[in-house]
Amino acid sequence: MSAREVAPLIQQDQQDTIVPEAPGQALASAAPRRERPRRRRDNPWTYIGLFVLSAFVIVPFLWMLLGSFKPTDALLRNQSGALFSFQFTLQNYKNLFQQYNFTQYFLNSTLVAVVTAVFATSISAFAGYALARYRFPGRGIAGFLILVTQMLPLIAVLIPLFIWFKTFQLIDTYWSLFIAYNAFAIPFCTWTLRGFFTALPIELEESARVDGANDLVIFFRIIVPVSITGLVAAAIFSFILAWQEFLFAVTFLSSDNHFTLTVGIAGMFGKSVVDWGLLDAGVVISTIPIAILFSYLQRFLVRGLTAGAVKG
């Protein structure tokens, strides 16, 4: 057989020969090709809505911040024009501390808010854990009553609390605010922490009990460290409640040395003329602690409230 006749046969034999593929190559060829996810086109109306919402929140605070650095007489003549002028002054902040006992107001609010946050979070942690883990008679009723307390407006219990505090001579004392604020902060924090504790795996506690740990050891050494997010969220809520509350403070306090920031700032309103520059300066200073608190702890607040809202 000649070379010309052999060559086509060799080519045909090579084409019919099956070359084994590597395992990875075979799987790669067998797997369906994934299409590249198409980039989602954002709706421009979403950004427009977010911009309008942000402006709705930021513009009033920016207006207040600018007004605190403007002369009072210019604000009284033309507030809108004075806000956007290049004239700045610190006189409003100087008058705030010279004409009013503003430092004492700030310290009073800090004391009341910190005590409320610590006490409400501590009591709520025990109560929320008990509702989440223990089975006892009346457990469902207790949870329901705790939830019902959140439906009551502050003004509904204002008069009964005033009569009670007056009977026990607690009017114009910090104790009246401690009791009133904790009465509203503890139920909310308890319900939030109950949901947070329910979401925790019970195997953590069961393994600790196998090792001989009692309930207090389990709570303080296992539950509390893994529940920092929920505890911080409860503390932030309690702090803000006590810091910004006005109705109880103006009703139960009567002396200037015991006034909180909300009551002190409300006293800056004149009968006929309002010193807007002085008022803006007071509100700016009272807002700074809350802004700092949120900037550092907002992730704890969002996670803690979300966990407590969807579990249990």
Domain contains 5: no
Q: Are residues 238 and 120 in the same domain?
A: yes
Could you give the number of structural domains in the chain? 2
Measured at the alpha carbon of residue 36, what is the angle toward residues 31 and 42, in degrees to the nearest 5? Answer: 150
pLDDT value of position 125: 93
Cα–Cα distance for residue pair 137/271, rounded to 1 Å: 57
CA atoms of 161 and 248, how far apart (whole Å) = 9
Question: What's the CA dihedral at 269, 274, 280, 283 to 10 degrees?
Answer: 10
Residue 15: inside a domain, yes or no? no
118 shares a domain with 77: no
Ordered DSSP codes for 36-102? PPPPPPPPHHHHHHHHHHHHHHHHHHHHHHHHHTS-HHHHHH-HHHHHTSS---SHHHHHHHHHS-H
Query: Is there a single domain that holds both residue 106 and residue 236?
Result: yes
Where in the sequence is the domain holding 50, given as residue range(s)?
42-89
Asked if residue 3 belongs to a domain, the reply is: no
What pTM was computed for the model? Answer: 0.76
User: Residue 27 has what pLDDT?
Assistant: 43
244 vs 138: which has the higher pLDDT = 244
**203 and 60, same structural domain?**
no
What's the DSSP call for residue 269?
B
Is 296 inside a domain boundary? yes
Q: Of 28, 60, 89, which closes a domain?
A: 89
152 and 174 belong to one structural domain: yes
Query: Could you tell me if 236 and 106 lie in one domain?
Result: yes
Q: Are 308 and 196 in contact (CB under 8 A)?
A: yes
Q: Could you identify the residue written with the tokens 């207790």?
A: 142
Over 70: is that where the pLDDT of 177 sits?
yes
The CA distance from 98 to 95, in Å, is: 5
User: Are residues 304 and 158 both part of a single domain?
Assistant: yes
Condensed to tens digits (0 to 9), the pLDDT of residues 34-71 reads 555 565 666 778 888 888 888 888 888 888 888 888 87
252 vs 55: which has the higher pLDDT: 252
pLDDT range class, residue 108, cuts 50, 70, 90: very high
For residues 174 and 253, give the distance between their C-alpha atoms in angstroms, rounded to a whole number.
8
Percent of the chain residues past pLDDT 70, beyond the cut = 77
The average pLDDT across 182-196 equals 89
Domain finish residue from 89, 122, 149: 89
Task: Average the pLDDT over 234-252 and give the result.
Answer: 92
Structure tokens at 70: 């403007």
Residues 85 and 113 in one domain: no
Tokens of 102: 């503003």
Q: Token pair of 268, please? A: 């800056």
On whether residue 26 sits in a domain, the answer given is no
- pLDDT tier at 303, thresholds 50, 70, 90: low
Query: In terms of domains, do 72 and 133 share one?
Result: no
Q: What is the CATH number of the domain that holds 305?
A: 1.10.3720.10
163 and 281 part of one domain: yes
Of the three residues 55, 89, 123, the one that is the final residue of a domain is 89
In a domain, 64, yes or no: yes
User: Per-residue confidence at 110, pLDDT binned at 50, 70, 90?
Assistant: very high
Tell me which of 229 and 252 has the higher pLDDT. Answer: 252
Whether 149 and 57 map to the same domain: the answer is no
